[in-house]
Amino acid sequence: MNAGLNKYHFEMANIRNQNSWCHSKDKPAATEKAKDLVRMAIAKAQFLKPLKPGQLSVNHAALIIGGGLAGITAAVVGVIGSLSLWFAIHVLFGRVADMRLGPLSLPWPDLTSISLPSLLIMAVAGVLLLKRHWPLVWVLALSAALGALTLLLRGA
């Protein structure tokens, strides 16, 4: 159907997603925000220029570098994950043996040597980061202070 309108000459005031659903408890404020959204959409629509559909030619000899960067990023994430696991195992457990699995050497903790203070510090850090949304630097500083306090109390 063609009414003679340019289908690209369009501005939307998304009142349902940006207002009605998220401000359903305060209807007078939601109404004012809806009016503002409509006013802003009208103001923006005054400066729109109609577009025309077009075609672009494709250069099949172009160099794409995104795949290599994705591979490097995946490798770095893998290294960070492996180091995190290694440090967690060696901090939580007093005794860790190497288990050979073919060409692999896996750290295998002695479950009876778990450090309860370290486990508690990790749990507190997890809650502060994931539930309380504390900045990472603050959580690291608190964890370091609690770890030092634990060592002082043990007399190590």
- Domains of the chain, by residue range, sit at 15-45, 78-113, 115-156
Instruction: Encode pLDDT of 5-56 as tens digits.
Output: 787 888 889 998 888 888 888 889 889 999 999 999 999 988 888 888 889 8
pTM metric for this prediction: 0.51
**What angle in degrees, to the nearest 10, is found between the helix axes of 116-130 and 66-92?**
140
Q: What amino acid occupies position 86?
A: W
What confidence score (pLDDT) does residue 153 get?
93
Q: What amino acid occupies position 36?
A: D
User: pLDDT-derived band of residue 126, with 50, 70 and 90 as boundaries?
Assistant: very high
